[in-house]
Structure 1
Amino acid sequence: MRIGFVLNPIAGMGGRVGLKGTDNKVAEARARGAEPRAPKRAERALAELHDRLPDAELLTWGTPMGEQQVREAGYDPDVLGEPEGEETSSADTAAAAAAFLEATVDLVLFVGGDGTAADVAEALEGTEVPMLGIPAGVKVFSSVFAVSPEEAAHAAATFERTERREVMDINEDEYREGEVHPELRAVAHVPVGESLQSSKQLGGGTVEALAEGMAQDILADPGKTYVLAPGSTVGAVKVELGFEGSPIGVDVWRDGEVVVKDATEEQILAALGAAGENVIVVSPIGGQGFVFGRGNPQLSPAVIQRCSVQIVASRSKLDSVSVLRADTDDTELDKDLQGWWRVRVGKFETRMMKLV
């Protein structure tokens, strides 16, 4: 099998430092202390791919867009080109995908987020060459991604047919202002497999009773620090607590006061209380089921490990997912989170959901 592999090395960097994305924010992300996320996720996928397909023929783009990770995984790749400048760009991704197409690859495997997916899909438009994403971006709305780096490798190594799936993207500047308007950018051929995530779907139904019940429980249990995740469902809880939170950011609340609004990972860690006195309130993404790892990278492994977790969701949102998922960049933590969770769906009602 001939696989074209390309890495967007800056994908996801803006997440933990509270920038909700990296588009036009690379310098600011670095100034805030952001560290690359995508290369390590590439390493995980390629290690698994080499275990499954050691004889695959890998074509890639020059470091930092794939060559180093492919070689470290044990492959001797054909390097078809180099990024044009010191900072990589969407044009580099598109050039790599076009070169893979010309070299007649069987699959384009890429690491990034929705913007990277759109760049690859547009380069492959009009062909039946399949693409598959290793998720690394802050926002991952498209259905061309596997649910984890390892599952991407599994799908790449075993697929026998493809299906057409949506490539979605949003305007990050609007997203930072709380406006979420996914736009269909392309329809791409993607390997068929159970390990693919769905497109981002907005959960319907009322959450007022759920939010009222959750807020009452929080107010009745003073002294704890609550880490309130992004999204409209948890946003309704914030309103019940008496403040207008950051719609796509993480807010920290304790004893009637907002400790930090739109917090970064570092700010959340600094605001947490003693062990056993911290609670994350989070809602899964509708249509996908991700509790951690999509849209809330500020809730890092270090944050999660110091908190208990309360999951809330409307019934209609849970009806759109079969299982819950976590993709935290810490595979051991992801395993620890697996199992049955009680999800609050109303003022008093709960539903059991399995996190896989």
Structure 2
Amino acid sequence: MSKPVFRLGIIVNPFAGIGGALALKGSDGAQIREKALAMGAEKKANEKMAKALSILEALNGQFSVFTAAGEMGESVCASLGIPCEVIYRPSSQQTEGEDSENAARAMCEANVDLLLFAGGDGTARNICSVVGDSIPVLGVPAGCKIHSGVYCVSPAAAGQVVSQMIAGELVSVMDAEVRDIDEDAFRKGKVIAKHYGEMRVPAELTYIQAVKMGGKEDEALVLDDISAYVAELMEDESDTLFVMGSGSTVGAIMEYLGLDNTLLGVDVIKNGELVASDVSAPELLNITKNKPSKVVLTVIGGQGHILGRGNQQLSPAFIRKIGKENMMVVATKQKIHALDGKPLRLDSGDPKLDEELAGAFTIITGYKDKVLYNAI
């Protein structure tokens, strides 16, 4: 099976930052934008997105682009000769925050692996209101106000991180805060910044050796961290059935929870209690019918399989029912590092489903520690 083409979403707020050079203290609001343009302000957001995208030139053919029409992304792609598919068209040339929201909604529906956007804190707020933590995002700084943690330090830095993801390198993912200030108060000399939410962002991998390679004691500590985090997530979803796949990492979670585990089978738990052990595929479909469910998987075998090796009970019908967003993959960084850059493997028994699932997966590698890694 060939390597899947990385699905990159691109959104540009073409009016981001136009009030900065003219000391208008921001760009939010139609009146401010009109005033800035009347004063000769230049729109720089597409120029900054171009700096990020130019880093990807050597990776042509390895990624596909989904974007919005005109200055919201299509034009910068055309200027760089990057083929793109337009999946949102604003109703007016003067775009508004709702256009960023609508474009972000279209990106989610297109199942992009990463949404790269250019703007400021207002744009981040708009996108966060739609995306939340459903897909990874990364901001190219182009606004007057950059208080949010979802932005890279520069457009070129954003391009470097995206290039790592497209190349299939191990890239950490973290929750980053979205903040914005009250522009009216700012113009009166007051800085009032508010928290508006968090989004998942890829971060250039520093690979800090908190996980020391090779020692069984260190591996046990990492498994304990993974288990503690998964247990915490389970507590937050008390009505959800958690289907526990096979493998030693999932087994460590079951041991942490004090529950009997079928090492080479599939178990089901809810509210910290064992509901069913060593279930078959038909039993699993029956148990989870019309109930909120998630599955906990790990990397099986030297080839990096997450489906199709030791967990055939997770039928294509079950995986389709819960969706990729409810597949929780857990693994130590040691295990992922041992893949030596090879992608994770999907072998559900349904080639069409494997194709739909292919792309970036978020893998829990420690306590509130995650990485992004590709699967085919």
| TM value normalised by structure 1 | 0.53
CA shift in 2, pair 1:39/1:126, >3 Å: closer
Q: Does 1:156 align with 2:165?
A: no
Cα pair 2:133 2:199 within 8 Å, conserved = no
CA shift in 2, pair 1:132/1:18, >3 Å: same
Q: Does 1:123 align with 2:130?
A: yes
CA shift in 2, pair 1:168/1:53, >3 Å: farther
Q: Which amino acid aligns with 1:74?
A: G
Q: Does 1:44 align with 2:51?
A: yes
2:151 corresponds to which of 145, 153, 157: 145
Q: CA RMSD in A?
A: 1.5
Cα pair 1:53 1:157 within 8 Å, conserved = no
Return the alpha-carbon distance in structure 2 between the equivalents of residues 189 and 52 of structure 1: 24
Q: Which amino acid aligns with 1:134?
A: V
Give every structure 1 segment of 4 or more consecutive aligned residues whose post-TM-superposition deviation is greater than 6 Å. none
Q: Which amino acid aligns with 2:173?
A: T
CA shift, 1:51, in A, is 3.1
Cα pair 2:172 2:205 within 8 Å, conserved = no
Q: Does 1:171 align with 2:182?
A: yes
Counterparts of 1:1-356 in structure 2, within 5 Å, are 1-24=6-29, 25-52=32-59, 54-127=61-134, 129-159=135-165, 160-193=171-204
Structure 2 residues not aligned, in runs of 5+:
1-5, 166-170, 207-376
Return the alpha-carbon distance in structure 1 between the equivalents of residues 28 and 15 of structure 2: 9
Give the SS at the match of 1:80: strand
CA shift, 1:6, in A, is 0.5
CA shift, 1:161, in A, is 3.1
CA shift digits 1:71-95 (9 cap, x unpaired): 2222211100211212101100001
CA shift in 2, pair 1:78/1:20, >3 Å: same
Return the alpha-carbon distance in structure 2 between the equivalents of residues 18 and 51 of structure 1: 38
Structure with greater Cα Rg: 2
Give the SS at the match of 1:119: helix
Give the SS at the match of 2:72: coil
CA shift, 1:26, in A, is 0.5
Cα pair 2:133 2:200 within 8 Å, conserved = no
Cα pair 2:7 2:63 within 8 Å, conserved = yes
CA shift in 2, pair 1:171/1:163, >3 Å: same
CA shift in 2, pair 1:126/1:148, >3 Å: closer
CA shift digits 1:278-301 (9 cap, x unpaired): xxxxxxxxxxxxxxxxxxxxxxxx
Give the SS at the match of 1:6: strand
Return the alpha-carbon distance in structure 1 between the equivalents of residues 186 and 44 of structure 2: 20
CA shift, 1:194, in A, is 6.8
Cα pair 2:174 2:202 within 8 Å, conserved = yes
Cα pair 2:114 2:138 within 8 Å, conserved = yes
Q: Which amino acid aligns with 1:8?
A: N
CA shift, 1:120, in A, is 1.1
Q: Which amino acid aligns with 2:161?
A: A
Return the alpha-carbon distance in structure 1 between the equivalents of residues 87 and 153 of structure 2: 28
Give the SS at the match of 2:199: strand
Q: Which amino acid aligns with 1:61?
A: A
Cα pair 2:176 2:198 within 8 Å, conserved = yes
The structure with the greater share of residues assigned to helix is: 2
CA shift in 2, pair 1:45/1:54, >3 Å: farther
Structure 1 residues not aligned, in runs of 5+:
196-356
Return the alpha-carbon distance in structure 2 between the equivalents of residues 108 and 126 of structure 1: 12
CA shift in 2, pair 1:181/1:52, >3 Å: farther
| TM value normalised by structure 2 | 0.50
Cα pair 2:104 2:131 within 8 Å, conserved = yes
Return the alpha-carbon distance in structure 2 between the equivalents of residues 53 and 115 of structure 1: 31
Q: How many residues align?
A: 194
Cα pair 1:90 1:119 within 8 Å, conserved = yes
Cα pair 2:68 2:88 within 8 Å, conserved = yes
Return the alpha-carbon distance in structure 2 between the equivalents of residues 191 and 117 of structure 1: 15
Give the SS at the match of 1:146: coil
Give the SS at the match of 2:152: coil
CA shift, 1:123, in A, is 1.0
CA shift digits 1:310-330 (9 cap, x unpaired): xxxxxxxxxxxxxxxxxxxxx
